[in-house]
Amino acid sequence: MNHYVQRDWQPHERPSLPGSPSTPLHSNPKRWAYGLVGLLVALTGGLGNSLVIANLPYLQGALGATTAEMAWLPAAYVMTNVSMNLLLVKFRQQFGLHAFTEVFLVLYALVTFGHLFVNDLNSAIAVRAAHGMVGAALSSLGLYYMIQAFPAKWRMKALVLGLGTSQLALALARLFSEDLLQIA
């Protein structure tokens, strides 16, 4: 089955812009599935940066860096995340949402695996910058899945939930990251 075949949408189901998600009518179990996947994807994208922010003092000791040098880790993430969002719009318009999802989920897994090879501050900054690029895609995907989980009349509520879910990751990281450090 070819996943890239163009589909014929009803007028109310069509995407508003090329590369943006369509909004077809879904059954309730499918809506729940979209909501849970949106929650998982947004939290995963948010936890990638939140765990680093919550553990900066511990990473400072492990990397042998000063507090000022450690501030580059979240800064590198945010700089690339913000600029990548502009490029992602173009990517989705050019290649479609399906290709966007496949490519950036694979890249996210590879960049996350790259964290295992960090051994100094320079490599940590490079990996955090790359993580900011792919983290932008996960934030977008979490938002899109959350929009699919709600009917058309609640799309704005879905937008707020989709954006808020990735921000929830910082609070969750502060709750359990010290326990993870004790285990490791």
What total number of domains does the chain contain?
1
Q: Is residue 94 part of a domain?
A: yes
Q: Is residue 9 part of a domain?
A: no
Q: Is residue 43 part of a domain?
A: yes
Q: Is residue 111 part of a domain?
A: yes
Q: Is residue 132 part of a domain?
A: yes
- Do 143 and 159 contact (CB within 8 A), yes or no? yes
Q: Is residue 8 part of a domain?
A: no
Arithmetic mean of pLDDT, 148-177: 88
Q: Is residue 93 part of a domain?
A: yes
**By CB neighbour count within 10 A (0-12 exposed, 13-18 middle, 19+ buried), where does 67 fall?**
exposed
The continuous run of DSSP H or E covering 146 comes out as helix 121-148
User: What is the extent of the structural domain holding 83?
Assistant: 28-183
Q: Is residue 18 part of a domain?
A: no
Per-residue pLDDT tens over the stretch 140-154 = 899 989 988 988 788
Q: What is the CATH number of the domain that holds 119?
A: 1.20.1250.20
DSSP label of 24: -
Residue 134 pLDDT greater than 80, yes or no: yes
Residue 126: the pLDDT is 94
Per-residue pLDDT tens over the stretch 12-50 = 777 776 666 777 788 899 999 999 999 999 999 898 889
